[in-house]
Amino acid sequence: METTATRRRYELTWNPSLSRINTNQDAETLKYLAYAKDKNSYYQIPLSGFIFDTNPVATEIAKITPKLQAAADILMSGLEPKWRELAQKANKEMRDLGLENIRAEVIKQVQAYLDAGGK
């Protein structure tokens, strides 16, 4: 038979994920949990709402994506012992296909977003 000492009590919180909190936790743990749930404990990263518009560089992205994927598959699987040379070669090929245009567009859009106050 379960006793009060071994029974766990939970409270549901009003949040989208319905997290459950064991109310038998010690006071220090409950304090940390309350801190973690407090929105004032966090700050928003300036670029957290930024969404990159790919339309201006769609052609360059389409050209680079196959090269990027091929290199990424090899590099992430660890199949290439001379990975630095492979990465340098892939980077040069992607630069030739318009990587710098994509970088410039990202910088332009990020700066416009920040200049508008992050909105």
Q: Answer whether 0.75 is exceeded by the pTM.
A: no
Mean of the per-residue pLDDT values of the chain? 86
pLDDT in tens, 20-59: 777 788 889 889 888 888 888 888 888 988 999 999 999 9
Confidence of residue 17 (pLDDT cuts 50, 70, 90): low
Q: How many CB atoms lie within 10 A of CB 102?
A: 20
Yes or no: say if 24 and 9 are a contact pair by the CB < 8 Å rule. yes
Q: What span, in angstroms and rounded, lies between the C-alpha atoms of 106 and 61?
A: 12
Pull the structure tokens for residue 3.
């006793």
pLDDT in tens, 92-115: 999 999 999 999 999 999 999 999
- Burial of 97 per CB tally in 10 Å (0-12, 13-18, 19+): buried
Summarize the confidence of residues 63-87 as an average pLDDT: 94
Q: Where are the domains of the chain?
A: 10-41, 55-115
Report the candidate in 6, 25, 8 with the shortest Cα–Cα distance to residue 33: 25
